Each structure stands twice: as C-alpha cells, then as structure tokens.
Amino acid sequence: EKYKSQNLKKEMEKILPTSILNLLKLIGLYGNELGLNVYVVGGFVRDLLLAINSKSNGTKSIPYDIDVVVEGDGLLFGKYVAKQLRAKYIEHPKFHTCSIFYRNGENKIIRIDIATARTEYYEEAGELPKVELSTIKKDLYRRDFSINAMAIKLNSGSFGILMDFFNCKKDLEEGKIRILYPLSFIEDPTRILRAIRFEQRFGFEIEPNTLTKLEEAVEKGYLEKVTGMRIREELEKILEEPEPMKAVKRMGKLKIIFHLFEKTYYSPTLEKDLEKLFDVKGYFKANLPSYLNKVRLFHLVLDVLLQYTPEESLKKISERYGLPKDFIKNLMQVKKVYSEISKDLNDKEKILKLSYFYEKTNGFQNEQLIFLAVKLPEELLEKYYEYLRKIEKLKLSITGKDLLKKGYEGVQIKAKLEEIKKKLLNGEIQPGEEKNLI
C-alpha cells in the first residue's frame, strides 16, 4: 500500500497527556496480542496534527474521545480491550461498533469508540452473512472529508505511523475542506452541514470542486431526503461551536437554510435578528441566567429564523424537526405581543411603566421572553431587562388566603393580587405595604 509515511511517535509523546498516550500504546499492544492491526482515526488525528503544527505548545484541542478502527473483528477486539482495562463495554450491534468507557488516573472518563474496518456487507441466499473485512485505506476513503480521513497506527513496533493515503495532511496544512469522492454529498447529505461546521470552526475553506458538488446537492434537494433528526443533530452541533453565526451566514448564502426550512428566506433582516439573538443570549447569561433555564438554543434560533414563515409550512417544519408541541403557538403569541407593543411605542407614559411588560408577557415561557428581547426596539430594552430583574425576585407579602379572609372571592382574588404586583413593579407601593391595599 502506498501512502506518505511519517512517524509521529516523538510528537505524540511530547504533546499528548500521558494518560492518553499510555492508553493508545496499550490499545496497540492488545492489537498485537490478538494479531490485529489497530488505528486511531478521524478527528483525533486531525486535532493532533493541528496541535503539532500550531506554535503554541498546548494540548488544549486534543479530544478525549478516541475513535479506533480495527482491521478485523472490532467487537471481539473491543471486548478484549475492555476486559484488560477493566472498563465499561457497550455494544452497538446495529452499527457493528462498540464503545469503551475508561476511567483514567485523574478520574476522567475517556470514551473509546471501536469500529471494524469494512466497506460492504454481503448476504448470499442460503449462506451465513459475510462481512467483507476491509483495509484501513477503504475505511478512510468512506469518510466525510480529507482532513478527517487520516489514521495513526497503534500496534507496538509501528506505533505512531501516520496513514495518509489521499494527501490529507496537505489539505489540513492548506486549510481545505475536500470530499474524497464525487458522490460524497449525495451519499450522505449531512456532510453538507459538516463541511460548513468544520470550515467555520477552523477558518478553513471548502475547496472549489467540493463547493460545486455541495451546491449541486443542495440545489437538487438532497437535504430534503435526510430525516429531520439527523439534520437536527448536525444543526445542534453547529450551534455548539464558539461562533455559530459564521456558519449560519454561510448556510444562508448557500441557500441551505431555504432547503432545510421551506418558505423560509434568509434575508438581511433575519440575519440582524439572529445576530441580536446571540447578543441578547449573552446578556441573559451574564445578567439574568435563571431565564436560560430549560431553554434550548436550537429552539431560540428557530423562533427567530421562522418568524416570517407561513403557518402551513411551520406545521411541516415542526413535525420534521420534532419541535415541542406548543412551539408554533408560542411563536405566534410573541409575534402578536410584539406587534401590539409596536403600536404603543408613541405612548411613552404607558410603555415605560414596568407593569406594561407584566401585562404583555405574563405567563410567557423563558424562550418567549428571550425572543421578545430580540424583537424589542433598543429604547425599550433597558426597561424590559429591568422588568425581568424585578419580576424574578418579586414576592408578595400577602397571599390569596389573606384575601379570602377579608371576604374576596374567586376571580377577585386573582385580579387583586395582580393589581398589587403591578403597583410593586411600578414602585407605587413598597414591599411590605401590600396589606394596606386590601
């Protein structure tokens, strides 16, 4: 087999935490014991090479997740490794893979995923199913991009040999995202989103031929063929990146947003609102963190992104991506409140009372409160935040029971309590003075 041979053993010894290095060496030793070739592959190799090449001598970006590929029975090997390491072993029979959870000296859990190198699965009538065992080269060729398609051999005696069959290291050094075969995006359209994610994360560039293929796959509707769940997973991974807006913008330009969310047109207005969302979220995180309770960034982003999408399409989108039952209703409600507020903007006396926000947003979920902050005009935002801070801590010194004793009934009680709350919000009475009002 021809590949650019390079031994990374010395660099690995220098750069990897000892616990990871020793673990990799052990995995290689177990490979020798069973007579199997074993490799660490994918993101681990990519990040290791990036760390080796970066001037800073840190190991910050070395992942604690290790993907291992075995030329031979990966499950058999996995069981053996788990036994030797006394580690937890979980099999995923559907995918012919297994995972090992190893607790290292520092009490960190290291996850090792083990797969069998294979390309095809044959089943002939009347015969036992056969797995065509394959080489590491074929396994790497099936991967998403060249930067993720390198392996490092772990076996004792050849520990540290970089397997680079497709000029991957060169792409990594030049910052290029490149598919390995022309039908790559057609075969697995989630790679369209992965390409954007890696491009933005590393500040790389999708190389021209790959970009053409990506655009063709988008144009021809291949994203629509993927299940909503798989798309959602990739979108959530994008949102976990440090600067997700970069990727969102790229997805907008490449019409990916439109193909993922029907009748949803990425516009400068939407882009501004999305940018605002990340600012607002940052504000909440720093100043009003309790409002982020149970809030999913995915849902917030969709609130903003889908605010102009027609309701018919919203239903389909909501079903496709498994959005919460009340997602559409809540979105519509914020839109309605926002348009009411827009009409009140000239009535300064009305809108600058904190009780105004109480009337408008009472009963809102956190997600709705944050989405409204994105929509509010700048001049109202400070007041709104002040309201949120105040209502968060607001506690009445009287209860419904006190009112009941005074002879109030059913609906009156609720109304009275709200009236008192609003007076407190506006500073018209001070905490403790509630009882004077009943």
Residue 293: CB minimum distance to ligand ATP, A: 27
What whole-number distance in Å separates Cα of residue 52 and Cα of residue 56?
Answer: 9
**CB of residue 150 vs ligand ATP: minimum separation in angstroms?**
9
The nearer residue to ligand ATP, 99 or 366, going by C-beta atoms, is 99
Read off the tokens for 30: 């177990």
Closest approach of Cβ 211 to ligand ATP, in Å?
Answer: 18
| Distance of alpha carbon 96 from alpha carbon 121, whole angstroms | 11
Is residue 143 close enough to count as binding ligand ATP by CB under 6 A?
yes
- Minimum gap (Å) between residue 331 Cβ and ligand ATP: 30
Return the residue nearest ligand ATP (CB atom). Answer: 43
Q: How far is the CB of 43 from ligand ATP (least distance, A)?
A: 2
Contacting range for ligand ATP; rule: CB under 6 A; set: 18-26, 175-183, 187-195, 417-425: 187-195
Alpha carbons 40 and 168: distance in angstroms, whole number: 15
232 or 389: CB nearest ligand ATP? 232
Measured in whole angstroms, the distance separating CA 1 from the mean position of its chain's CA atoms is: 38
The one segment of 140-148, 207-215, 246-254, 372-380 that binds ligand ATP by CB under 6 A: 140-148
Contact window for ligand ATP (CB under 6 A) among 186-194, 250-258, 316-324, 338-346: 186-194
28 binds ligand ATP (CB under 6 A): no
67 binds ligand ATP, rule: CB under 6 A:
yes
| Nearest distance, CB of residue 126 and ligand ATP, angstroms | 33
Rule CB under 6 A: is residue 264 a binding residue for ligand ATP?
no
Least distance to ligand ATP, CB of residue 313, Å: 27
Binding test (CB under 6 A) with ligand ATP, winner from 97, 116, 148, 333:
148
Q: Which of 146, 155, 190, 318 binds ligand ATP (CB under 6 A)?
A: 190
Q: Which of 176, 191, 250, 421 binds ligand ATP (CB under 6 A)?
A: 191
For residue 344, the minimal CB distance to ligand ATP (Å) is 46
Question: Which one of the spans 14-22, 31-39, 141-149, 326-334 is the region binding ligand ATP (CB under 6 A)?
Answer: 141-149
Going by C-beta distance under 8 Å and a sequence separation of 6 or more, which residues neighbour residue 50?
61, 172, 202
Nearest Cα to 75, choosing from 104, 118, 32, 22? 118
Interaction between residue 318 and ligand ATP (CB under 6 A): no
> How many residues lie near ligand ATP (CB under 6 A)?
10
Cβ 241 to ligand ATP shortest distance, Å: 9
Applying CB under 6 A, the span of 127-135, 142-150, 283-291, 373-381 interacting with ligand ATP comes to 142-150
Q: Which of 91, 188, 402, 418 binds ligand ATP (CB under 6 A)?
A: 188
150 versus 341: smaller Cβ distance to ligand ATP: 150
Provide the β-strand partners of residue 111: 65, 101
Stretch that binds ligand ATP, among 184-192, 249-257, 403-411, 418-426 (CB under 6 A): 184-192
Nearer to ligand ATP, 189 or 367 (CB): 189
- Relative to beta strand 97-103, strand 109-116 is antiparallel
Residue placing its CB nearer to ligand ATP in the complex, 240 or 428: 240
Strands of the 4-7 sheet, one edge to the other: 4-7, 161-164, 151-153, 37-41, 65-71, 109-116, 97-103, 88-92
The CB-of-230 to ligand ATP minimum distance in angstroms stands at 9
d(CA 151, CA 164) in angstroms, rounded, equals 7
User: Mask of contacts with ligand ATP, 32-61, x by CB under 6 A?
Assistant: ----------xx------------------
- Site for ligand ATP, rule CB under 6 A: 42-43, 63, 67, 143-144, 148, 188, 190-191
